[in-house]
Amino acid sequence: MAGPPVIIWEHEVERLLRYKELIPRLEEALGKFSRRDSAELIQPARTTVALQKHSGFMGLMPTYMENDGVLCAKIVCFYKRRDGSTLPSTQATVVLLDPECGNVMAVMDGEVITGMRTAAVSAISAKLLMRSEAEVLAILGTGRQALSHYNIFTDMFSFKEVRVWSRSREGVERFGRSVSGPVTACVSVEEAVRGADVIVTVTTSTEPVLFGQWVKPGAHVAAVGACRPDWRELDDVLMKEAVVYVDSREGAMTESGDVILSGVQVFAELGDVINGTKPAHREKTTVFKSLGMGVQDAVSANLVFDKWKTKASQP
């Protein structure tokens, strides 16, 4: 008879999850996903339920990795918040189950996992697709994802300058105080992105904020927001000029307004590049359109649970 599930909450997840261990596991998982071998990995596209009264959605993200013995589901709610709202735009919980019996082994906070795995996958996209001489990083948005992206991008790469833009001056100032390194506060998107080598868009905007006319040819864009089929962060000019990579083709064709409404062809998944079946066009302008995948949560949660068990078994 299985015991009750363990509950692993935010601070503990934060203590246990480390990018150094997470990134190679995510790279392996993205590669597995793109091989579409159902004996290895089953991860359907996210199911969403509209929370119309609250301008939000609940997303259900299940994953089964047979060879790894991982069965996982994330429940995530995300909202289009009104200006001035202090409520979070994303809330998530991850559940790990025993695939043999179906009992819940662990319930854990999904906020830290969502923040870290999303930023880690964007950093993997930059590792694969940005130019080797990249010097300037621009981050659009100053919320939770902006912070996790700042942390991993400045840790993994040596940018000479990190520019940050938010709609409000206070937003940028607060962000500048919350990070450990220097940032250049920008008053417009154009000022932030002109000449930038890597651009991260992490806003909750539903209209384009980044326009192709400002983007330097050869830049790499990691586009993280706009996760509904009628929401945009990037304009058509940028989408049409760029070689477009995604985390999951099914996800992009179902959920990405930037992909669906611009009518562009997706060139490859990141997993295809990792597997060597599609090239990384570092010399061209590239967009990585991120929607988020259940397998990214499954790999992260499994890592947290393994480390939690090791810690719990120590005297």
Ligand X SMILES: NC(=O)C1=CN([C@@H]2O[C@H](COP(=O)(O)OP(=O)(O)OC[C@H]3O[C@@H](n4cnc5c(N)ncnc54)[C@H](O)[C@@H]3O)[C@@H](O)[C@H]2O)C=CC1
Closest CA to 78 of 67, 66, 92: 92
Stretch that binds ligand X, among 101-109, 137-145, 258-266, 277-285 (CB under 6 A): 137-145
**Contact of 96 with 158, CB cutoff 8 Å:** no
For residue 267, give Cα distances in angstroms to 32, 227, 245, 291: 18, 19, 6, 16
Least distance between ligand X and beta carbon 62 (Å): 16
Contacts of 12 (CB under 8 A, 6+ apart): 308
> Is-contact 81 87, C-beta < 8 A?
yes
Q: Which residue has the tokens 């998944």?
A: 269
Q: Rule CB under 6 A: say whether 291 interacts with ligand X.
A: yes
- Among ligand LZCNNONV, ligand X, none, the one that 159 touches (CB under a kind-dependent 5 to 8 A) is none
Dist CA 184 CA 162 (whole Å): 6
CB 290 within 8 A of CB 224: yes
Phi (first) and psi of residue 262, to 5 degrees: -80, -20
Of the pair 145, 262, the CB lying nearest ligand LZCNNONV is at 145
CB 198 within 8 A of CB 174: no
Helix, strand, or coil (residue 134): coil
Can residue 145 be called a binding residue for ligand X (CB under 6 A)?
yes
Any contact of residue 222 with ligand X (CB under 6 A)? no
Contacts of 142 (CB under 8 A, 6+ apart): 164, 166, 171, 172, 174, 175
171 belongs to the binding site for ligand X (CB under 6 A):
yes
Distance CA(209)–CA(229), nearest Å, equals: 16
> Any contact of residue 125 with ligand X (CB under 6 A)?
no
Q: Is 256 in the site for ligand LZCNNONV (CB under 6 A)?
A: no
Q: What is the closest distance, in whole angstroms, from the C-beta atom of residue 292 to ligand LZCNNONV in the complex?
A: 2
Asked whether position 114 contacts ligand LZCNNONV by CB under 6 A, the answer is yes
Question: Does 285 sit near ligand X (CB under 6 A)?
Answer: no
| Residue number with CB closer to ligand LZCNNONV (94 or 186) | 94
Position 294 contacts ligand X (CB under 6 A): no
138 part of the interface to ligand X, by CB under 6 A: no
Query: In 10 A of CB 86, how many CB atoms?
Result: 5
Site string for ligand LZCNNONV, 190-229 (x = CB under 6 A): -------------------------------------x--
Q: Which does 267 bind (CB under 5 to 8 A by kind): ligand LZCNNONV, ligand X, none?
A: none
Q: Which of 15, 66, 68, 89 binds ligand X (CB under 6 A)?
A: 89
Q: 237, 211 in Cβ contact below 8 A?
A: yes
Stretch of 18-26, 63-71, 223-231, 235-243 contacting ligand X, by CB under 6 A: 223-231
* Positions that interact with ligand X (CB under 6 A): 78, 89-90, 114, 118, 141-146, 166-167, 171, 202-205, 209, 224-225, 227, 290-292
* Positions that interact with ligand LZCNNONV (CB under 6 A): 76, 78, 90, 92, 114, 227, 291-292
